Chains A and B, each alone.
Chain A
């Protein structure tokens, strides 16, 4: 059973009097454990699709289901809970909380009042992730004391700390040089294999697209290719 289902999803943006169709009718199934790349030229609708899957945006038409749960009927509170439980976010601009250090940024999602974890359990989880993303020496650094690659590693650890089924990453390498970008994608791929979480990421980079086991190509808000490796 697919972990994410999109059925006839359309999304229009309203720019003044003009309606901009960003996504024009998409059907897509994503299986658990996929490492899926959403590819396509600028303006093709990649970000829009990821926002819809991440439940931070709602479709104009059609249905988005996460773990078979139809999202259109959910209110803000329920969507917030769903995001916390099922989805990890990795942002293009990292979006770390500037006043929190590496450890605290990774810990943050665990302090929102959902999990009942002891301090020790939290500590173990965070230390494990810090080791996994290779930041053991930077635990107490603030984001502005880190390089772009290091920041994105923090973001990856933060996205994983709640053990989400789905990790979304919209152009996670866009703000990094290509070598660092490659390392980040490889890290994601390794975690995908180890933890069996589903990774959905968008990219322009053809080399990075090659690492995916499922490629979806978009053009003008429609799917032009949907292939599994």
Chain B
């Protein structure tokens, strides 16, 4: 057996050397193919990881708990097509919160409210700016997202119950550029919200200007606001539990437009909110006496989300299952999802990058298979008489098969290894170049401001597997042809 293998190896090596152009064509395809795969895989992996960590660290945390819904709900709310849908509140909030606080696997919990608003900066000028309000509790927010923001100016108020409004630096710059008005700590801005079936307007004072460490295109308008201001803006009133409101009453509450009643856009005419107002039965009962009293029934337990950091983020899926089972069992109107769902359309960008890369690979693979097959068939035709002779001399089909497989394997290994080295080199070079971008699309693609690539054993292995697959696929037809060469071909010259 060993002399047979040795002669097969010898034939394969010498034929590869003899048919140099064929070897070089196939070898180059294999080497470049694997280099592209290794480098591409590393980039895509790094980009996916970048997107993942930047979302988890900035917006979604490891697990998102929300109210129950069948629609796609992210921490940014419903997607544009379901814009009018109201974000469900977490049912039995206190129970859920306590359950999570007691969970040893959960290291931090940040409750959040999400809603859209319009910011009116200067009363003199009729220009509004869109804002995506995140209603948060400042201390839980900071604990859950310690690396999310840098505060450029101002601060969260020391009093946890105090109202606040934190604007992003880029928005403040935008206001100044567009209106020529410098908004800074202490500036009053008029915030209009159209959640909860009505339009409400509040004057809020800017308490700080911040910057997200990881900038995400499409999320420039995110602003942070205290929960009570948010609820007041959105009309999140007690609807169940403390008081029972009839459907008609709820509708009335929702439809109540305080500002429309005051009928003026003047700042001074705006009724100032008193978020700290006590919720009492008396207040509820007097609900319909005065529209001002609506503020009194603000549901302080109304939260859209609870964002959890886990001690072991890799256990997120298990924790999600566990929580969902718990919600189900207890009949709690809540659900848990992972960062992917929580980031909504943004995580699908990572998927899109991967998809584009996969399509690219498929195209490269098909082209490679065609070229390699073609080259092998041509070389096979040249060697028909040689193979026929071998068959006449007693070479079995298995011998011919092994001879071809040996050639293909040898090409794959040698040039594949060269390709892996080349791919790794590309990765190292790209990484050391420190290519940075401000471009929005590239930001997403890179998964951050800097293009990084990490060479992982997985991507090398995957690439090797794909290239082997290409080699095998490309060899099938030529090898079948070779096996069909009859010994008579030793003496029959193809005309």
Contacts and interface: CB of A to CB of B under 8 A. Distances in A.
B122 interface: no
Contact of A97 (B17, B390, B392): B390
B250 interface: no
Interface stretch (B33-41, B372-380, B422-430, B484-492): B484-492
A77 B396 contact: yes
A112 B392 contact: no
A33 interface: no
A192 interface: no
- Identify the interface centre among B386, B392, B488, B490: most chain A CB within 10 Å of its CB: B392
Nearest to A109: B393
A98 B399 contact: no
Interface in B394-415: 394-397, 399
A54 B15 contact: no
A195 to B, nearest CB: 18
A91 to B, nearest CB: 6
Interface in B120-146: none
Interface string B475-495: 000000000001110110100
Interface string A92-107: 1101011110001001
Given A98-B386, A99-B14, A108 B7 contact: yes
A56 interface: yes
B28 interface: no
Contacts of B17: 99
A35 interface: no
A56 B3 contact: no
B490 A91 contact: yes
Contact of A114 (B6, B390, B391, B394): B394
A84 interface: yes
B395 A97 contact: no
Interface residues of B, number: 29
A56 B11 contact: no
B394 A80 contact: yes
Interface string B439-454: 0000000000000000
A111 B488 contact: no
A138 interface: no
B300 interface: no
A57 B489 CA distance: 10
B20 interface: no
B7 A56 contact: no
Interface string A189-203: 000000000000000
Contact of B488 (A57, A85, A107, A113): A57
B99 interface: no
Interface string A65-98: 0000000000011001101110001011101011
A34 interface: no
B399 A91 contact: no
Given A76-B397, A112-B399, A100 B11 contact: yes
B485 to A, nearest CB: 11
Contacts of B95: none
A80 B490 contact: no
Contacts of A76: 397
A101 B61 CA distance: 70
B393 A108 contact: yes
Given A47-B491, A98-B386, A83 B1 contact: no
Contact of A170 (B396, B397, B491): B491
A56 B487 CA distance: 5
A204 to B, nearest CB: 16
A81 B490 contact: no
B393 A84 contact: yes
Interface in B1-58: 1, 3-4, 6-7, 10-11, 14-15, 17-18
A84 B392 CA distance: 8
A95 B491 CA distance: 9
A84 B394 contact: yes
Contact of B14 (A85, A89, A100): A100
A99 B394 contact: no
B7 A111 contact: yes
B92 interface: no
A16 B1 CA distance: 44
A56 B392 contact: yes
A180 interface: no
A143 to B, nearest CB: 11
B184 interface: no
Contacts of A107: 7
B13 to A, nearest CB: 9
Contact of A56 (B6, B14, B386, B488): B488
A51 interface: yes
B232 interface: no
B389 A113 contact: no
Contacts of A91: 389, 490-491
Interface in A5-51: 47, 51
A85 B396 CA distance: 13
B335 interface: no
A215 to B, nearest CB: 22
Contact of B392 (A54, A98, A110): A54
A89 B486 CA distance: 15
Contacts of A100: 10-11, 14
B385 interface: yes
A56 B395 contact: no
Contacts of B493: 93
Given A80-B391, A93-B385, 20 more contacts: A54-B392, A57-B488, A76-B397, A77-B396, A80-B487, A83-B392, A83-B487, A85-B394, A89-B389, A89-B393, A91-B389, A95-B389, A97-B390, A98-B18, A99-B17, A112-B396, A113-B1, A113-B399, A158-B393, A162-B394
16 contacts: A51-B488, A56-B488, A57-B488, A80-B396, A80-B397, A93-B385, A95-B389, A95-B490, A99-B11, A99-B17, A100-B11, A111-B7, A112-B395, A114-B394, A119-B3, A158-B393
